Amino acid sequence: MSGFATESRTPAPLPDLELHIARQIFDYSEQRISEIRTRLFIAASGFPEDLPGAWGIENVAVLPEFRGQGLIDHLFERVLEEGRNQGFKRAQIPCLIGNDAAQRAFERNGFEVVSQKRDAAFQELFGTPGAKLLMQIL
C-alpha cells in the first residue's frame, strides 16, 4: 500500500522524456513506444479524475497466504494517519469495477464510492469496464 499527495503524481500518459529514456535503455522501436503510449492512454481513460487536494492510496495488496488476518486494516490505519499528519482532509482510492473483494475491504475501512468511469477500450485491454473512485473524510 502506498500513500501520496495526488498533485505529485506524474500525469498519464508518461512524458515523452521518460519514453525516450525507455527507448534508449530497452532499445524499444518507435512501434513499441507507440504501443506503450496507446496502452497508457487507454489505461488513463478507465479511471476517474483525482479529487482535488486528496491523499491518494494505491497498490493495496497482501500475499494470499496472509489474507484474512486483518493486515489491510492495519495498513489503512497507518497510511491514513500519515495523510492526516500531512494535513490532508480526505483520502481517495481507485478500485477496478468487478474487484468486489477490494471494494469491500475499502468500504470496511471507511471509504465510499464517489464516482466511476467506464470505457470500451479499457474493457477490451484490461477485461474490466473501468474503475470506481472511493473517498473518505480524514
Per-residue model confidence (pLDDT) at position 129: 97
Per-residue model confidence (pLDDT) at position 9: 63
Q: Count of domains in the chain? A: 1
Look at residue 120 and tell me if it is in a domain: yes
Helices (H) and strands (E) in the chain, counts: 5, 5
Report the alpha-carbon distance of residue 21 to residue 36 in Å, rounded.
13
How many other C-beta atoms are found inside a 10 Å radius of the C-beta of residue 74? 11
How many other C-beta atoms are found inside a 10 Å radius of the C-beta of residue 138? 17
Look at residue 103 and tell me if it is in a domain: yes
Look at residue 75 and tell me if it is in a domain: yes
Look at residue 122 and tell me if it is in a domain: yes
The CATH number linked to 75 is: 3.40.630.30
Contact, 24 vs 55, CB < 8 A?
no
Set of cell numbers at residue 86: 500531512
Per-residue model confidence (pLDDT) at position 15: 67
Q: Write down the pTM of the prediction.
A: 0.85
Which domain covers residue 63, as residue numbers? Answer: 2-7+48-137
Look at residue 100 and tell me if it is in a domain: yes
Look at residue 12 and tell me if it is in a domain: no
| Residue pLDDT tens, the chain, 138 long | 999 998 866 555 556 788 888 888 999 898 998 898 888 889 888 999 999 999 999 999 989 999 889 999 999 999 999 999 999 999 999 999 999 999 999 999 999 999 999 999 999 999 999 999 999 999
- Which residue in this structure is represented by grid cell 475499502? 106
Per-residue model confidence (pLDDT) at position 11: 56
Per-residue model confidence (pLDDT) at position 21: 86
Instruction: Assign 63 to helix, strand or coil.
Output: coil
C-alpha R_g of the chain: 17
